[in-house]
Amino acid sequence: MFFQALLSGLVTGSIYALLALGVVIIFKATESVNFAYGEIFMIGAYIGLAVYAYLKLPYPIVFVITFMLGCLIGFVLERGVLRSVLKAKGEIVAIVIATVGFSVFIKGMFRFLRITEFVRSFPTLFPSKMLNIGDSVITADGGVVLLIALLIMIIFFIFFKFTKIGKAMQAVSQNFRAASLVGISVPGIFSFTWSLSSGIGAISGLLIGPIILIHPDMGIVLMQAFAAAIIGGVKNIPGAIFGGFVVGIIENMVGLYVSTNFIVIAPFFAIILVLIFKPEGIFTWGKKRLV
Amino acid sequence: MALLGANGSGKSTIVNTISGFIVPTKGNIRFYDRRINGLPPEKIVKAGITQVPQAKELFPDLTVKDNLELGAYLRKDKADIRRDLEVVYQYFPVLRDKNRKLAGSLSGGEQQMVNIGRGLMSRPRLFLLDEPSCRLAPIIVKQIFDIIKKINESGITILLIEQNVRMAMLIAEYVYIIQNGMIVVSDRKENLEKKDDVRRTYLGW
Amino acid sequence: MNKHFNLRIFSFGFIILVLLFLPAILATYWIYVLNLIFIYIILALGFNILVGFAGQFAICHVGFFGIGVYTYGLLNTNIPIPFLFSVLAGGIVAAVVGFLIAIPSIRMRDIYLAMVTFSFAEVLRWIFLNWDSVTGGPNGLRISPATISKMQLTTDQQVYYVIFPCMFLLVVLTANMAKSRLGRAFFSIKDSEAAAMACGIDVYKYKILAFGLSAFYAGVAGGLYGVLAGFIHPESLGFLQTILYLSMVVIGGLGTIPGPVIGACLLGIVPEFLREFSFLQEMLYGVVLMIFIVLMPLGIYGSMKARYEKMMRDKMQDVETL
């Protein structure tokens, strides 16, 4: 049972890790948070469903479309709402409210258009294919999710460390004034980061499609993403990924050994404990940044 | 060129306006017949004006080499970039030794060297140096000013903003003096040294 | 100047008078709405103390509200003390919890503070939901009606004359506090903690105080809600409520006194008007939030105040240049 919980935890953990990655790159580069991130996750799932199940396009194309649409939403959100907010006051409260407003709007729209009545569950990609490891089972769907998620993380890592834009993102997150002095368009990087993060969020929604039920309240996963990011260290990219897996595994373990009731509150406990005792994140060591 | 003035007279304001961080409400700035006021900072750098700010603005978690290379962010000529990096290392040999160290771990003087070196890497047409001697030990100040003179001799136009009047006057050809936001003197150094009243009022000797 | 002052007092008194006699002319439903709005006013004012005065982005307010309701409910249903004492107890217990939460939290700022306080609120809500024996858990808590010397307060009109004075009292108290030494200490912390410390203000103490005070308001509001509704369920103590409080304070005007009042009135009334179109309402709400934070980040009253002050400053400049 333990091993089964571990395996399932890895699968859901990989999704949390991707989401946490999206949260951290925005926070690192722009010191802001996107409270509509959960809704973008949900939109990704629905788009994926619509295009894959109804338009019956092949999965790789669905993947690309979902990613692009996610990026577009992030871009529009950043340009449209955030630019004006930053011009006006630039405080985090304003950004939170603006993005929360967007998320409320999206959720209301989905419920208004009664989309729930049309869509229910994502068809499995590999029906009835499973892999047995000892007593535990991992479905082929789950395995694929895990692999694709890991692949995305690796691609992102290479992108971040070795490409010019990646270096620009690093520069902006360390010192945006120096970045301007060097010729980097800081607003451009802001837009890029938000787009990328939203794209990743949408992809995560698509990936998780075959595994869980899709519904307009899916965005609640935002809290687990935040918990994962905080556990790993909000300014720490490998930490975020680590945090995601930790949250996924702990959730399953808690459900197995404590009670299913406790699963819901576990991420919040984690946030409280980490922020009080090790605010820079469990996975960060050495330099302690001021919280 | 040297821009001299007391604290709060408006020196940094001018520099930041040229670089695009402050947008002027009236008037125009022209650079080689091109209007540049209102352009965002990154476009100003592209136009050939690079600023080395008063505060040592570095990327603390990147290596010295990465910091310097980022100075050439807008350039595409890889071979020339490598050559320019060599030139910077010749000006500041200490940076070659600390090549792979994180910029945040360097001393104040060394950080200023990274600052200037990074500015050089963009091959500026106009090099703005905002109080490079600020908060540095006197020995290092002398070194830095020697290097600034060398840079100027290599053909790069420099606008030096300084409070340290003596050192600036040693290496400048042309001097502007700003007081309360207005340029009150603009002349060649040799002429200024002859005008006693200007010397006493503004330069203090 | 004097004429101005008298006009203000007069119009203020007139409004109070009108409000006092409204229950006689309005339908019961609207009195219920007014009662709810008054409770929201108290909630918004309390929230404003922490976020608007002291500048702490702390969003555990709904948790304090919940504590107020449950404390009042349990006391009033089980212990024969005057119901107003139970309401007060709700405020006090909430304040104590506020102090407790404040102690580890005040080291943090901005989004970290928001995250940790929100987590605390969710933990409280989870406790409400799972501590069946005490709180009734997922079935909610039934609260017996308030009684005054054998008479039960069950109609909205009766409850009105409890809630209205409480709200009025708290508004006056808050207005006085804003101008007092305490209020100025709060504002100085919001402006610059370092400067405040340099002036000798014990920032930690005042932050904890702000938490406790804010929680007290929420707790009292909770108790009054118990009087009004007679029932509470943890589901109505979630993130949506937190967003609602934030919206009221921001749309009305953060850091001002009339701001939260205006915000509470607007956001209390609008849902009632849109009752039939609940999903459209949600969309509209989201859009309104975005529009407001972009166009009027200082809120309705805040923007008016800012414009008025600018006008005054321009006038002064004209006088100076003469």
Average pLDDT of span C131-140: 86
- Reported as a pLDDT band with limits 50, 70 and 90, residue C157 is confident
C-alpha–C-alpha distance, residues A246 and C187, integer Å: 41
**How large is the average pLDDT for residues A57-70?**
88
Mean pLDDT within C197-225: 93
- Could you say which of A167, A175, A183 has the minimum Cβ distance to residue B58? A175
Write down the domain spans for chain A.
2-277
pLDDT over threshold 60, residue B130: yes
| Predicted local confidence at residue A71, as pLDDT | 94
Distance (Å, whole) CA C289 – CA C276:
21
Measured in degrees and rounded to the nearest 5, phi and psi for residue C179 equal -90, -10
Q: Per residue in C235-281, pLDDT tens? A: 888 888 898 898 899 889 888 889 999 999 988 876 666 666 667 77
- Sign of the CA dihedral C249, C251, C253, C254? positive
Q: What single letter denotes the amino acid at residue C277?
A: F
Per-residue model confidence (pLDDT) at position C205: 92
| Full residue range of the structural domain in which residue C50 is found | 26-321
C13 part of a folded domain: no
- The backbone region for A134, taken as left when phi is positive above 0, alpha when psi lies in -120 to 50, beta otherwise, is left
Tens digit of pLDDT for each residue in B134-160? 777 788 888 888 888 888 888 888 888
As a whole number of angstroms, the distance between CA B80 and CA B88 comes to 12
Non-local (6+) Cβ contacts of C179 within 8 A are none
Distance CA B175, CA B188 (A): 6
> Measured on CA atoms in the order A86, A88, A89, A91, is the torsion positive or negative?
negative
Q: Is the separation of the CB atoms in C292 and C267 below 8 Å?
A: no
Q: Two tokens at C262?
A: 């205006």
The answer to whether B125 contacts chain A (CB < 8 Å) is no
Structure tokens at B151: 């840079």
Average pLDDT of the segment spanning B118-133: 87
Q: Do A183 and B59 touch (CB under 8 A)?
A: no
* More confident of the two residues C205 and A263: C205
Radius of gyration of chain A (CA): 19
Q: How close A9 comes to chain C (CA, Å)?
A: 22
| Distance to chain B for A93, nearest Cα, Å | 25
* Model confidence band, residue C149 (pLDDT cutoffs 50, 70, 90): confident
Separation in Å, CA of A131 to nearest CA in chain C: 37
Whether A265 sits inside 8 A of C111 (CB atoms) is no
Q: How confident is the model at residue C123 (pLDDT cuts 50, 70, 90)?
A: very high
In this structure, which amino acid lies at residue C59?
I
For domain A2-277, give its CATH number from 2.60.120, 2.60.40, 2.40.50, 1.10.3470. 1.10.3470
E strand or H helix that includes residue B184: strand B182-188
B198 touches chain A (CB under 8 A): no
Instruction: Output the six-digit token pair for C209.
Output: 């105080």
Number of structural domains found in chain C: 1
**Per-residue pLDDT reduced to its tens digit, B26-53:** 777 878 777 777 788 888 888 888 888 8
Topology at the third CATH level for domain B2-203: Rossmann fold (3.40.50)
- For residues A66 and A130, the answer to whether their CB atoms sit within 8 Å is no
Give the residue on C whose Cα is nearest the Cα of A84.
Answer: C294
Residue A289 has pLDDT above 50, yes or no: no
As a whole number, mean pLDDT of residues C122-146 equals 88
* Cβ-Cβ contacts under 8 Å, B122 against chain A: 182-183
CB distance B71 to B118 below 8 Å: yes
Q: What confidence tier does A18 reach under pLDDT thresholds 50, 70, 90?
A: very high
Looking at residue B198, its pLDDT comes to 65
Structural domain contains residue C20: no
Whether the per-residue pLDDT at C41 is higher than 90: the answer is yes
Residue to test with chain C: of A268, A277, A290, most C Cβ within 10 A: A268
What is the rounded distance in angstroms from the CA atom of residue B106 to the CA atom of residue B61? 11
For chain A, give the number of residues.
Answer: 291
Q: In chain C, what's the furthest Cα-to-Cα distance?
A: 75
Q: Are A237 and A160 in contact (CB under 8 A)?
A: yes
What beta strand segments (E) does C205-311 contain? 231-232
Q: At C178, which CATH number? A: 1.10.3470
Buried b (16+ CB within 10 A) or exposed e, A33-43: bbbbbbbbbbb
